[in-house]
Chains A and B, each alone.
Chain A
Amino acid sequence: MAESKDGGLVFKPMQQFEVTPLFGDGPVGMFTITNSTMWMALAIIAVVVLMVLGTRSRAIIPSRSQSIAELVYGFVYQMVEDITGKDGVKYFPYIMTLFLFILFSNYLGLLPKAFTPTSHIAVTAVLAVAVFVAVTVIGFVKNGAGFLSLFWVSSAPLALRPILAVIEVISYFVRPVSHSIRLAGNMMAGHAVIKVFAAFAAVVAISPLSILAITAMYGLEMLVAGIQAYVFTILTCVYLKDALHPHH
């Protein structure tokens, strides 16, 4: 990030997203322990510390960590119940897991020198495709062939319905793509912007401005990290609602 030998600025905003092995520097294979693995594990450890150790005492008057854990639990539970209805509540544990994992990956990725697992489409695509497959299977198991009425918009005029059906089918299959790329793109974009401003900090004349800009972007990134975890979870709930109640 410093100035190069010939005085020009060096921008390496994408360097932070490189997946490197944690031990040694061999090639990255299927089972290599990388920095991505480490930060995912840290996210899970953080979740466990908050949810298991934080709520262990089960105090009537909660401690700080217990009230945070209760707040998060209540928030996600309310969201699942509001959107999917009573019969969606049994899928709450998975949605809660998704929310906490994404939230903690996003927030831990904001630490200096950290790696954000959710900035990689490979990671978010697995999460999104898992949701997509699960929702499709649940839809067919719960409704049988009636699930296909999701694509047959009965409130539209009859002549328009076949055209709408084609559009609905396409939009259904684009879901995992937009679901995963939204999260990865937001994470990648924000972190890359911070690094671009960091490169400007090497120029003495504009470095105060650049540091102010980093601070402001960092505040925005805190917001985005939370909102993107929320958006991923709420879209999961919406897709689940479509699977449970496909009739328009």
Chain B
Amino acid sequence: MEGDIAQMGQFIGAGLASVGMGGAAIGVGNVAGNFLAGALRNPSAAAGQTATLFIGIAFAEALGIFSFLVALLLMFAV
């Protein structure tokens, strides 16, 4: 019984941690969408900013990866 409740908590925690990935999705979409909006206004400047785009996406995505990692740790390592 004790173990069952602990396991239930583990699963609920892993599910809750996965919610953070939605935040990363919003962040990445925001970065890419704003880049596209800017690029369509001034296409000649877009090519020089792709590196910045990827850095921005990487930073936004890292936090989603962290939440994924927490979920994995709860599922397999605890």
Which A positions have Cβ atoms within 8 angstroms of B? 14, 79, 82-83, 178, 181-182, 185-186, 188-189, 227, 230-231, 234-235, 238
> Which chain B residues lie closer than 8 Å to A238 at the CB level?
55
Interface positions, chain B 38-77, Cβ under 8 Å from A, are 51, 54-55, 57-59, 61-62, 65-66, 68-69, 72, 76
* Contact status A188-B58, CB under 8 Å: no
* Contact status A182-B55, CB under 8 Å: no
Whole-angstrom CA separation of A185 from B59 in the bound complex = 13
Closest to A182 in B: B62
Partner of B65, one of A14, A82, A185, A234: A185
Partner of B54, one of A82, A186, A188, A227: A227
Q: A14-B76, A188-B72, A189-B68 are in contact. Are A182 and B54 (CB under 8 A)?
A: no
> Which chain B residues lie closer than 8 Å to A235 at the CB level?
55, 58
Task: Report 12 cross-chain contacts, Cβ distance below 8 Å, ordered by A residue.
Answer: A14-B72, A178-B59, A181-B62, A181-B66, A182-B65, A185-B68, A185-B69, A188-B72, A189-B65, A189-B68, A231-B58, A234-B54
Q: Is chain B's binding surface mostly helix, strand, loop or mixed?
A: helix
Give the A-B pair count, Cβ closer than 8 A: 38
> Which chain A residues lie closer than 8 Å to B55 at the CB level?
231, 234-235, 238
> Which chain B residues lie closer than 8 Å to A182 at the CB level?
58, 61-62, 65
> Which chain B residues lie closer than 8 Å to A178 at the CB level?
59, 62, 66
Whole-angstrom CA separation of A14 from B57 in the bound complex = 26
Besides A185-B68, A234-B54, 18 other A-B contacts (C-beta < 8 A):
A14-B72, A14-B76, A178-B62, A178-B66, A181-B62, A181-B65, A182-B58, A182-B65, A185-B65, A185-B66, A186-B65, A231-B54, A234-B51, A234-B55, A234-B58, A235-B55, A235-B58, A238-B55
> Which chain B residues lie closer than 8 Å to A181 at the CB level?
62, 65-66, 69
5 pairs of A and B residues whose beta carbons are closest in the complex? A185-B65, A231-B58, A178-B62, A182-B62, A185-B69
> Which chain A residues lie closer than 8 Å to B59 at the CB level?
178
Closest to B57 in A: A231
Closest to B21 in A: A189
> Which chain A residues lie closer than 8 Å to B62 at the CB level?
178, 181-182
Whole-angstrom CA separation of A234 from B59 in the bound complex = 12
Whole-angstrom CA separation of A79 from B59 in the bound complex = 18
B32 to chain A, nearest CB (A): 12
> Which chain A residues lie closer than 8 Å to B57 at the CB level?
231
Whole-angstrom CA separation of A224 from B7 in the bound complex = 33
